[in-house]
Amino acid sequence: MKKNKTSRSTKRPESDGGAVRIQKYLAQVGIASRRAVEEMVLLGQIEVNGQPITKLPCFVTPGEDEIVVEGRRIGKRRRAEEKVYFLLNKPRNVVCTSRDPQGRRTAIDFLPPIRQRVYTVGRLDADSTGLILLTNDGELTQHLTHPSGEVPKTYIVAVDGSVEEEQLNRLKRGVYLDGKRTAGAGVKIEHRGPGKTLLRITLREGRNREIRRMLVRLGHQVRRLKRVAIGPITDKGLGVGQVRSLSPKEVGELRKTGQGGTRG
C-alpha cells in the first residue's frame, strides 16, 4: 500500500488533489532550499511513504504523504518552524554547503546555537569572501536566487592587468558563457594601478562562478572577490567572520527587492 502511494506521489501533477513538487513543499516548511532538496533527492537522502526517492519530478500531498529527510520524519501535520534570518560576512576557505568532505569550516558553523535547520541563500565559492544569507525561509530563498527575481548583488573584484573601456562595455552588454550571453552587469572602476584593477560589479543573475569566468574570457585573472551587498543589505559594520540577525525591516526590504517581490 505504501509503495502504491509513493508511486502516485512521484507522478501526479500539482493540480491533482493538492499535490506539489517535493522541493517546493520542503522549502515552504523550512527544511531546505529548493535546490538543496533537489540535491538530496538525487543523493537518495529523502523517503516518501517508506520508499527512497532518487529522481525528479516527485510530487507529494501535504497532510497525506509521510516524508523522511536524512532520517528526520516530516510529520503529516507538521507545523512550520519559526523563520530565522542571518547575515554572515564569509571569510576565505569557508564553504557554503552543509557538510564538507575536506573538513573545511562551513558558513553554518558561524551561527549561534539554534533549533532550526537553515541553509545558505545561494553560494560563494571557498576563495570568495563577503555576504551570504542563511535562513529556513524557502520562499524568500527562491525569490533571491531565481533569475526572474533580478535581485542585484554587488561585488568588489581585484583582477590582474588593466581593464580597458571596451572590456567594460563587453561586461555591461554581456559575455557568452556556455553558448549563452550573460544578462550584462553594472561595472565601475574603483581603482586602476600598476598591473591591477579594482572593479565594482553588480549582477542580477547568478550563474556558477560567473564573474570569474567572464573576466577570464576577457583575459583577466581574478585575485580577490568580495560580495559587499545583496539588494539593499550591505556589509557596513559587519567584520569578516561576523554574523548578525536581519531585522524584520531588512527582511521586508529583501522581499520587495527585484522585479516581482516574493512569489507565493
Strands 129-135 and 222-230: parallel
Q: Does 218 score more than 80 pLDDT? A: yes
Q: Does 229 score more than 90 pLDDT? A: yes
Maximum C-alpha span of the chain:
71
Residue 208, burial from CB neighbour count under 10 angstroms (0-12, 13-18, 19+): exposed
Q: How confident is the model at residue 80 (pLDDT cuts 50, 70, 90)?
A: low
Cα dist from 170 to 184, 189, 197, whole Å: 8, 14, 16
Give span(s): CATH 3.10.290.10, the chain.
2-74
Q: Does 31 score more than 60 pLDDT? A: yes
Q: What is the pLDDT of residue 149?
A: 67
Which residue did the predictor score with more confidence, 263 or 78? 78
Q: Does 12 score more than 50 pLDDT? A: no
Instruction: Tell me if the pTM is above 0.75.
Output: no
- The fold for domain 85-147+233-256 equals Alpha-Beta Plaits (3.30.70)
Give span(s): CATH 3.30.70.1560, the chain.
152-230
Is 160 an annotated catalytic residue? Answer: no
Look up the CATH number of domain 2-74. Answer: 3.10.290.10
Query: Do 202 and 192 touch, CB atoms closer than 8 A?
Result: no
Average pLDDT, the chain: 84
Q: What is the pLDDT of residue 28?
A: 79
Query: Do 34 and 24 touch, CB atoms closer than 8 A?
Result: yes
Residue 49, burial from CB neighbour count under 10 angstroms (0-12, 13-18, 19+): buried
Q: Does 8 score more than 70 pLDDT? A: no
Secondary-structure breakdown of the chain: helix, strand, coil percentages, each rounded to the nearest 5: 25, 30, 45
Query: Do 141 and 121 touch, CB atoms closer than 8 A?
Result: yes
Give span(s): CATH 3.30.70.580, the chain.
85-147+233-256
Look up the CATH number of domain 152-230. Answer: 3.30.70.1560
Task: List the one residue out of 247, 202, 254 whose CA is nearest residue 86.
Answer: 247
Catalytic residue (choose from 65, 125, 127, 178): 125
Q: How confident is the model at residue 45 (pLDDT cuts 50, 70, 90)?
A: confident
Rounded Cα distance between 173 and 183, Å, is 7
Rounded Cα distance between 140 and 121, Å, is 9
Rounded Cα distance between 57 and 23, Å, is 9
Q: Does 5 score more than 50 pLDDT? A: no
Q: How confident is the model at residue 79 (pLDDT cuts 50, 70, 90)?
A: low
When mean pLDDT is compared across 85-94, 142-151, 176-185, the lowest value belongs to 142-151
Within 8 A by CB and 6+ apart from 38, the residues are 23, 56
Which residue did the predictor score with more confidence, 115 or 158? 158
Rounded Cα distance between 60 and 124, Å, is 31
Rounded Cα distance between 48 and 259, Å, is 35
Q: Does 203 score more than 60 pLDDT? A: yes
Can you tell me the mean pLDDT for 225-248?
Answer: 95
Q: What beta strand segments (E) does the chain contain?
A: 20-21, 46-48, 51-53, 59-60, 67-69, 72-74, 85-90, 119-120, 129-135, 153-160, 176-177, 180-181, 186-193, 196-203, 222-230, 233-234, 243-245
Q: What is the pLDDT of residue 4?
A: 41
Q: What is the pLDDT of residue 259?
A: 58
